[in-house]
Structure 1
Amino acid sequence: MPKPIVAIPADIKEIEGALWHATPNQYARAALDVAAAMPIIVPAFEDGNDIDTLLDRVDGVLISGAASNVHPSRYGRQATDADGLFDLARDATSLELIRRSIDRGIPLLAICRGIQELNVALGGTLASEIQEAEGMWDHRKPEGDRDVMYSIRQPVFVREGSCIAAYLGTAGEIQVNSLHRQAIARTAPALQVEATAADGTIEAVSVIGAKNFAVGVQWHPEYWAATDRPSRHLFEAFGEAVRTYAAQKDQARPSYDRATG
């Protein structure tokens, strides 16, 4: 059976005066090497994307992290300079991709900016510069090279009996990395909190009543997916859900269509 296909929405980057649709390599490699799926990058447009046509052709959706933040107008707040950087095309693409994936029961894994987009897409809000609030940790990336920035250094507490616990193969305390200054404020009604940091920061959620794998994490399992056990288990579980969905979709096609490809 061919590899299933996982869609990753792009970020808009300006390079030498030209606009590029791009995604960090670490997400594509984790999808390919650990989830055993073929990643494709979805162009980010503020309008014109035909999300259902795309979803007809893929077997899973991976919403990556990014340097930009969801624009506050998406969750009913006035934007300030402190809220940026923004990527309006990414917002328009990812939010609709999330909603339609959930509606259609297509496996969905949302990471960092992705969990924030998942929350906003379903009616939640975000908090900015969370490290400035009393009693909150500094969740921003540490100084250093990329291995240092993505170092596994923070405990989170996974709820017993949660979807995330089943996917990770463990509940209770696990160690993760942390590279964010925004986080979920008001949780969307359709989301279940699955893991938190000791300061109360929401670190993982699942979609209540989802037809398929539909979870988000605030940390970055993709960076260490090849070597860190919880990170690998999460991507393997996502890959298994994607393969199962692809097989079911293939079986639902008419027999003559399967025979001819």
Structure 2
Amino acid sequence: MPRPIIAIPADFREFDSVTWQAVQQQYIRAAVKAAEVTALIVPALEDGNDIDAILDRVDGLLVSGSASNVHPSLYGKEARESDGPFDTARDATALPLIRRAIDRAIPMLAICRGIQELNVALGGTLASEIHEQPGTWDHRRPQNVDRDTMYSIRQSVFVKEGSCIAGVIGPGEVRVNSLHRQAIAETAPRLQVEAVAEDGTIEAVSVIDAKAFAVGVQWHPEYWAETDSPSRKLFAAFGDAVRDYAASKEQHSATPRHHEAV
């Protein structure tokens, strides 16, 4: 059986005065190496994407992190310049993909910006500059360091007993690499909190009524997916769910249709 295919929504970015559709290599590598799937990039468009046509052709959805933030207007708040940068084309692409993937029982893994998009897509809100809130740690990425140091595994999160993620990486304390300025404020009604940081920041969620793997994490399992055991297990579980979906789709398409005699 050929490797199943997943969709990854792109960022709409500008480099040297030219606009590009871009996804960071670390997400694609983790998908290919750790989840063992084929990755296709979905262009970020304000309009023009046929969401169901895209999902008809894939077996999973990976919603990656990004340097941009979800636009506050999508969760009922006014946008401040400090809340940016924004990528409204990414918003217009990823949020509908998330909703329809859940509706169609297509496996999904959402990371960093992705977990925030997942929360907003299902009716939740976000908190900005969380390091300014009393009792909240500074979760921002360290400055003036190389990328391996930036994404080093140095923070504890606590995975809830009996949660979806506990079934993959085990319950209790897990060391991760969580880098973010924003976080979930009000959790969407359809989401279950799966893991929190020591300061109470929500670090992982799952979709309560999902009929397939549908998990979001605030940390970055993609960066060390080939060497860190919890990161690898999370991507492997996503890959297994994608393969199960692809197999069921193949079986359904191969089932002969019986027509009643006229």
The TM-score by the shorter chain falls in which range? Answer: over 0.9
Matched residue type, 2:80: T
Describe how 1:71-110 pairs up with structure 2 within 5 A: 71-110=71-110
Distance 2:168 2:56 in 1: 26
Matched residue type, 2:228: D
- SS state of the match for residue 173, structure 1? strand
For residue 26 of structure 1, what is the aligned residue in structure 2?
26
Matched residue type, 2:156: P
- What is the deviation of 1:147? 0.4
Describe how 1:171-190 pairs up with structure 2 within 5 A: 171-190=171-190
- What is the deviation of 1:70? 0.1
- What is the deviation of 1:256? 7.9
Deviation digits for residues 218-261 of structure 1, max 9, x if unmatched? 0000000000000000000000000000000000104589xxxx
Matched residue type, 1:7: A
Cα RMSD (Å): 1.1
Describe how 1:128-207 pairs up with structure 2 within 5 A: 128-143=128-143, 144-168=145-169, 170-207=170-207
- What is the deviation of 1:59? 0.2
Distance 1:205 1:34 in 2: 21
For residue 52 of structure 2, what is the aligned residue in structure 1?
52
For residue 230 of structure 2, what is the aligned residue in structure 1?
230
Number of residue-to-residue matches in the alignment: 256
Distance 1:256 1:210 in 2: 28
Matched residue type, 2:158: F
- SS state of the match for residue 165, structure 2? helix
Deviation digits for residues 58-105 of structure 1, max 9, x if unmatched? 000000000000000000000001100000000000000000000000
Deviation digits for residues 97-153 of structure 1, max 9, x if unmatched? 000000000000000000000000000000000000101000001131000110100
Query: Is residue 64 of structure 2 the alignment partner of residue 64 of structure 1?
Result: yes
TM-score normalised by length of structure 2 = 0.96
Deviation digits for residues 146-184 of structure 1, max 9, x if unmatched? 00110100000000010011122x110000012100000
For residue 118 of structure 1, what is the aligned residue in structure 2?
118
- SS state of the match for residue 67, structure 2? coil
Matched residue type, 2:181: R
Percent identical among aligned pairs is 70
Is there any run of 5+ residues in structure 2 with no aligned partner, and where?
258-262
- What is the deviation of 1:13? 1.1
Query: Is residue 244 of structure 2 the alignment partner of residue 239 of structure 1?
Result: no
Matched residue type, 2:194: E
Deviation digits for residues 36-61 of structure 1, max 9, x if unmatched? 00000000001111000000000000
TM-score normalised by length of structure 1 = 0.97
- SS state of the match for residue 175, structure 1? strand
- SS state of the match for residue 92, structure 1? helix
Distance 2:18 2:97 in 1: 25
- SS state of the match for residue 163, structure 1? coil
For residue 212 of structure 1, what is the aligned residue in structure 2?
212
For residue 260 of structure 2, what is the aligned residue in structure 1?
none
Distance 1:4 1:79 in 2: 39
Distance 2:71 2:168 in 1: 31
Is there any run of 5+ residues in structure 1 with no aligned partner, and where?
none
Distance 2:247 2:134 in 1: 49
Matched residue type, 2:89: A
Distance 1:62 1:128 in 2: 24
For residue 250 of structure 2, what is the aligned residue in structure 1?
250
